[in-house]
Amino acid sequence: MSDEEETQPTDDQKIEIAKWFLLNAPAGEIQYIAKDMKAVLQDETLYTTAAAVAFPLYNKSHMICLDFPDRSGEVMVTPFSEIGENEYLDPRTAQVAFVDHVNQVCRRARPANDEELPTPYIEEYRYALDIEVTKYVSEAYPKGICSVYCVNGKDVEEPGMDFELVVVISAARLRPQNFCNGSWRSIWNVEFKDEAQFVEVRGTLQVGAHYFEEGNVQLDAKHECKDSTMLMSPEDSAHSVTAIIRHHETEYLNSLQTSYSKLSDATFKDLRRKLPVTRTLFPWHNATQFSLRRDLQKSLGLEKK
């Protein structure tokens, strides 16, 4: 067997490599990566196998939004809206979308069943929070999208038991013609604790950016935060929780802006060592006097006599 045959990756390794590239595609760029993967693999079966795994994971992690076929609404593809294989719930329209992950389209929709929806009591809180968050997102994020899901306790019918809602916010600014794409994603777990009359809010915020004009620079920043408020009526709770979300997201965005304003003056300079470990500047003007081979021979006692 030749050396070339020995170093060739197996089909399983090719699939894993293709999956890695697809899953790590920047926001809005997975279809470009998919096209390149097809050309590199030159095997439709291998590509289809990799894409069938990678695309659903990518779509859910980036929380993409798809229109229903009849334009009656839109559905966010998230881990919280997933109710079955390729089925995703839109709580606003009470519809379930059947998603083609690889082509990133909604093929058809059906009305949600009663067991797939929260009780009227929980829906009051979900609906009120959805209204307030939608107002906030429309003000804060151009072309931003959001949704609110009940992930725990959706069968609670009256006060006295705990339940949990999740707010998801996604916004993308895709400008491939200008060699830059960016995305914002935030997930807010909102736990309503009835006995303590307390609402705990936990957020995970993620910013991604890709600049690729005559280069390839990516940013992936993540931040977690925690806050709380009192359990009140659906409308009052919605106002309070949305105020918390607004405060923490604004604070994080401002901190990022401050950090980036210092990049050129501080961070980039600190990336390069001012002096080598010898604390002596390297004499670039007379570099020919050095020989790595000669220095090694000397240190090992192998110099020729």
Q: Same structural domain for residues 244 and 188?
A: yes
Q: Same structural domain for residues 142 and 249?
A: yes
Specify if 299 maps to a domain: no
Percent of the chain with pLDDT over 90: 70
Highest mean pLDDT among 85-89, 210-214, 264-268, 297-301: 85-89
Q: Which domain holds residue 143?
A: 118-262
Q: What are phi and psi of 269, to 5 degrees?
A: -65, -35
Specify if 24 maps to a domain: yes
Give residue 301's pLDDT band: very low, low, confident or very high (50, 70, 90).
Answer: low
Query: Do the Cβ atoms of 26 and 181 come closer than 8 Å?
Result: yes
**pLDDT, tens digit, for every residue of 11-23?**
999 999 999 999 9
pLDDT of residue 179: 86
Residue keyed to tokens 């020919």: 288
Residue keyed to tokens 């693999």: 41
Specify if 297 maps to a domain: no
Indicate the range of 44-53, 98-107, 126-135, 209-218 predicted with least confidence.
209-218
Q: Same structural domain for residues 103 and 143?
A: no
pLDDT of residue 285: 54
pTM, full prediction? 0.83
Q: Same structural domain for residues 158 and 97?
A: no
If we measure between CA atoms, which residue out of 171, 163, 113 comes closest to residue 147? 171
Do β-strands 74-76 and 65-67 pair in parallel, antiparallel, or remain unpaired?
antiparallel
Q: Same structural domain for residues 81 and 55?
A: no
Q: Same structural domain for residues 83 and 158?
A: no
Indicate the range of 74-78, 118-122, 262-266 predicted with least confidence.
262-266
Specify if 131 maps to a domain: yes
Specify if 276 maps to a domain: no
Q: Same structural domain for residues 23 and 110?
A: no
Which of helix, strand or coil describes residue 203? strand
Q: Same structural domain for residues 44 and 136?
A: no
Specify if 283 maps to a domain: no
| Mean pLDDT value across the chain | 88
Q: Same structural domain for residues 30 and 100?
A: no
Q: Same structural domain for residues 123 and 243?
A: yes
The pLDDT of residue 296 is above 90: no
Check which CATH number belongs to the domain holding 220 and give it.
Answer: 3.90.1150.210
Number of domains present in the structure of the chain: 3
How far lies 19's CA from each of 22, 24, 105, 206, in Å?
5, 8, 20, 22
Specify if 286 maps to a domain: no
**pLDDT, tens digit, for every residue of 38-75?**
999 999 999 999 999 999 999 999 999 999 998 888 99
Specify if 295 maps to a domain: no
Q: Same structural domain for residues 105 and 128?
A: no
Q: Same structural domain for residues 58 and 184?
A: no
Count each helix (H run) and each strand (E run) in the chain, helices first. 8, 11
